[in-house]
Amino acid sequence: AHIDKAGHKHFMAKEIAEQPTVIGEALSHYVHDAGIDLPQTLDFAALDRIVMVACGTAFYACLTAKYWFEQLAGLPVEVDIASEFRYREPPIGPNTLAVFVSQSGETADTLAALRYCAEKAQIAAVTNVETSSIARESDVNLPIHAGAEIGVASTKAFTCQLTVLVLMALKAAHARGRIDDATLAARLAELRNLPGRLNLALGQAPQIAAAARAVAEAEDVLFLGRGQMYPLAMEGALKLKEISYIHAEGYASGELKHGPIALIDQTVPVIVMAPHDHLFDKTVSNMQEVMARGGQVLLITDSEGAKTASDGTWRTLVMPDCPALFEPILYALPAQLLAYHAAIAKGTDVDQPRNLAKSVTVE
Ligand code: G6P
């Protein structure tokens, strides 16, 4: 089918805007009544360990899912970049599920890592292309149903990957007796409300764009996050460097004092992704360390976070309130919009950034 920009200036803008719809569609494929439909062969109760392997944005989806599988299901998770994984010759024990996440399903490094695990572990693929090599060579195929993604910088595929991965983690938690039927049903009800919250976040685009125009002046940008928001800080930095060519790094908030704080002055915006969760106070004290050194903090938080911590920040962006578990999905949107509008301000080729390819099929 012919895919056009549907009235948007760029495919990336269209794909960002589509997220409430495609996430709703992904949910409708996997969530029925009070339960999650995944292939029967996926026996989470029998697992000792999950190994997750991917590249780029898909790697950050895996890092986020590690928090979910470990916290919800009590399953140890190892995450690796595909190009490192197989040369390390990692031992793959029995009762291991190996999960390969790839939008295209054709990334050479990820496919090679999958082949390394074949016969050693059960292989699950989380891809956007059901006919892809990674989907075909897996034991269990879990499509993300994002629809064709054209922009080189991944957006809707990332949030649909997160959606499928959080469903896997909830299913695993239930299968392993860590959450009961009622808790599962409550989480699924929250998930059904997620597309509405994503729409509200998209409604903040003008404020995010204004912040992005200011960020676009910088040469270096730091993204901070704690807990499940840490991988998203890295994804936010990746998005920004991919399409605006601004140097950006994502750090765990608590690691700031072990190095990156040396970079802080008034020219380095520090973007703090911090909903008002159980780790919020710790992140706020990291943020104050930045402000005490003249750093300009862009705080992305919710209404409660804004109420308690926006004093002294450079800017505060307020996201809709959201159940904590799903915040990495919601906060992906401001990260994408910041990168998008910074790139527009810089005049770069948003859909086809220099030196990058949508799918890298060579090693
Ligand atoms: C390329 C793309 C990235 C993507 C990565 C992994 O580098 O530019 O946007 O995240 O490949 O691609 P995959 O198709 O395996 O998710």
Residue to mutate (ligand 1; options 55, 164, 362; most atoms within 8 A of CB): 55
Tell me, in angstroms, the distance from the centre of ligand 1 to residue 101's CA. Answer: 10
Residue 34 pLDDT: 72
Q: Is the CB of 161 under 6 A from ligand 1?
A: no
> Which residue's CA lies nearest to atom 8 of ligand 1?
358
Tell me, in angstroms, the distance from the centre of ligand 1 to residue 66's CA. Answer: 19
Q: Which value does ipTM take for this structure?
A: 0.97
Q: 238-292, pLDDT tens digit by residue?
A: 999 999 999 999 999 999 999 989 999 999 999 999 999 999 999 999 999 999 9
Confidence class of residue 308 from pLDDT cuts 50, 70 and 90? very high
| Burial 68-105, CB ≥16 within 10 A → b, else e | bbeebbebebbbbebbebbeeebeeeeebbbbbbbbbb
Q: What value does the mean pLDDT take over residues 298-302?
A: 98
Q: What value does the mean pLDDT take over residues 10-15?
A: 97
* pLDDT surpassing 80 at residue 2: no
Q: Is the CB of 148 under 6 A from ligand 1?
A: no
Residue whose entry in the numeric block shows the structure tokens 């996430």: 23
Tell me, in angstroms, the distance from the centre of ligand 1 to residue 361's CA. Answer: 10
SS3 for the chain is CCCCCCCCCCHHHHHHHCHHHHHHHHHHHHEECCEECCCCCCCHHHCCEEEEEECHHHHHHHHHHHHHHHHHHCCCEEEEEHHHHHHHCCCCCCCEEEEEEECCCCCHHHHHHHHHHCCCCEEEEEECCCCCHHHHCCCEECCCCCCCCCCCCCCHHHHHHHHHHHHHHHHHHHHCCCCCHHHHHHHHHHHHCHHHHHHHHHCCHHHHHHHHHHHCCCCEEEEEECHHHHHHHHHHHHHHHHHHCCEEEEEEHHHHHHCHHHHCCCCCEEEEECCCCCCHHHHHHHHHHHHHCCCEEEEEECHHHHHHHCCCCCEEEECCCCCHHHHHHHHHHHHHHHHHHHHHHHCCCCCCCCCCCCCCCCC
Q: 134-146, pLDDT tens digit by residue?
A: 999 999 999 999 9
- C-alpha of 264 from chain center: 26
Q: 24-60, pLDDT tens digit by residue?
A: 999 999 999 879 999 999 999 999 999 999 999 999 9
Q: What value does the mean pLDDT take over residues 330-352?
A: 97
Residue 1 pLDDT: 60
Residue 363 pLDDT: 85
Could you tell me what percent of the chain has a pLDDT over 70? 100
Residue to mutate (ligand 1; options 129, 165, 359, 363; most atoms within 8 A of CB): 359
Q: 164-217, pLDDT tens digit by residue?
A: 999 999 999 999 999 999 999 999 999 999 999 999 999 999 999 999 999 999
Confidence class of residue 342 from pLDDT cuts 50, 70 and 90? very high
Q: Is the CB of 55 under 6 A from ligand 1?
A: yes
Q: What value does the mean pLDDT take over residues 64-90?
A: 97
> Which residue's CA lies nearest to atom 4 of ligand 1?
56
Q: 94-110, pLDDT tens digit by residue?
A: 899 999 999 999 999 99
Could you tell me what percent of the chain has a pLDDT over 90? 96
